[in-house]
Structure 1
Amino acid sequence: MFTVVALLAASLVPPPGPVTITVESVAGSGCPANTATVAMSPDNEAFTVTYSDFLVQGNGSEAKKSCTIALRINHAAGYTYGIAATDYRGFAHLTDKAKGVVRNDYHFPGFPTRHSSRTFQAPMSDNWHVTDTPDGVAHGPCKDRKPLTVETELKVTGKGGGSFMTMDSTDSSVSTTYRLSWKKCAE
């Protein structure tokens, strides 16, 4: 029993040395040029995406915006990672039976896509927070490292003319945090 626990704990430790993140592409109506930033945490156990202009306004009909980011996490050989949990934060002002939806997908090319979605109902005028924890972590490949693609969408539906939903803030304190699960590759 002790050996199994020790092996599991060892597999969750980040790789030695620096871990950096490179943004390969950013596209979408929710993240115009220079409005999304990505940063690795100092402990190498998470990265954040901070949006400065991700807002969708309903105006009495369905409206949506999305942002797709492809990134490469650079780390020591012999390790791989997956997304263990994702924290989303923002603000919603929903009136007159409007609904707001935040959806997030992430995947490595050739691997299954993880989908999550959360719906908020009117009346609402408050900050929102969602934590998505998958049933199991899908780690990326060990040898042929592929970029991780994350796509986030905000949607507002219904007749609430002044309804809106956002993932931005004036002080850049609202961000999406992707917590990583590291795994040592088999030799």
Structure 2
Amino acid sequence: MAFTGLAFAGTGASQAAPCAADYVLAPDNSALSILFSDLTVEGSGSVQCTIDVPLELPQGMSLGVYRVDYRGFASLDKKEVATLDVDFALGPKGNSRQFKRSVRGAMEDDFAFSENIGAGLMKRVGCGVDARLRGSVSLALKGSGDALATLDTGDGASRRGLVYRFNLKAC
């Protein structure tokens, strides 16, 4: 399996600059990590990033996403809330999933959510169908002052971002 690039659009922390992301494919092709360099919101408001990753699957193979890990950091006072909202699709329309979770203050720590996708819910792509991973990621913050939430990996904390875990099998 190979990836031919990563396209992204949206707003980064400054709202005037576009979001920026990169990806890392596990050596055994079992996982794809999307690493954001500036998906951070401070005080209150939201940031958003869309991704589009073309996938080149081996002939006669299909791909499914069976688990997604969502990782970030939040610094929140009491009554402040950070909300992560992810909508991703694998292949054509109708293959989308939505995931939404919130973290509440008071806290100053990493956060992590995992979504296990059962076999009956897993959407597959390949076997002659265009294979693409498309998604929209938004991070919203209801806070004030020094509140902060991020999926930013600019500090070298590679554990932050999105990790898609794949199941590759014959058609």
Q: TM-score, normalised by structure 1?
A: 0.79
Q: SS in structure 1 opposite 2:11? A: coil
For 2:4 and 2:27, the matched residues in 1 are separated by 15
User: Residues 143-162 of structure 1 correspond to what in structure 2 (within 5 A)?
Assistant: 143-158=128-143, 160-162=144-146
Q: Is the CA contact (8 Å cut-off) linking 2:2 and 2:56 kept in structure 1?
A: yes
Please say if 1:64 is aligned against 2:61. Answer: no
Please say if 1:113 is aligned against 2:96. Answer: yes
Q: Tell me which residue corresponds to 1:100.
A: 82
**Structure 2 stretches of 5 or more lacking a match?**
none
Q: Tell me which residue corresponds to 1:133.
A: 116
For 1:119 and 1:36, the matched residues in 2 are separated by 22
Percent identity at matched positions? 27
- Kindly name which structure, 1 or 2, has the bigger radius of gyration based on alpha carbons: 1
Give the Å deviation of 1:41: 0.8
Q: SS in structure 1 opposite 2:108? A: strand
- Residues 129-176 of structure 1, C-alpha deviations (whole Å, 9 max, x = no match): 111112321111421224220221111114x32211001131151232
User: Residues 23-102 of structure 1 correspond to what in structure 2 (within 5 A)?
Assistant: 23-30=5-12, 32=17, 35-59=20-44, 63-102=45-84
When you count strand as a share of all residues, which structure comes out higher?
2
Please say if 1:164 is aligned against 2:148. Answer: yes
Give the Å deviation of 1:29: 0.7
Letter in 2 for 1:164: L
Give the Å deviation of 1:92: 0.1
Between stretches 84-93 and 139-148, larger displacement belongs to: 139-148
Q: Is the CA contact (8 Å cut-off) linking 2:10 and 2:19 kept in structure 1?
A: no
Residues 1:117 and 1:46: Cα distance change in structure 2 (over 3 Å): same
When you count helix as a share of all residues, which structure comes out higher?
1
Residues 1:113 and 1:34: Cα distance change in structure 2 (over 3 Å): closer
Letter in 2 for 1:167: L
Q: Is the CA contact (8 Å cut-off) linking 2:92 and 2:130 kept in structure 1?
A: no
Q: Is the CA contact (8 Å cut-off) linking 1:68 and 1:152 kept in structure 2?
A: yes
Letter in 2 for 1:117: K
Q: Tell me which residue corresponds to 1:22.
A: 4
For 1:73 and 1:128, the matched residues in 2 are separated by 29
For 2:73 and 2:6, the matched residues in 1 are separated by 28
Letter in 2 for 1:171: G
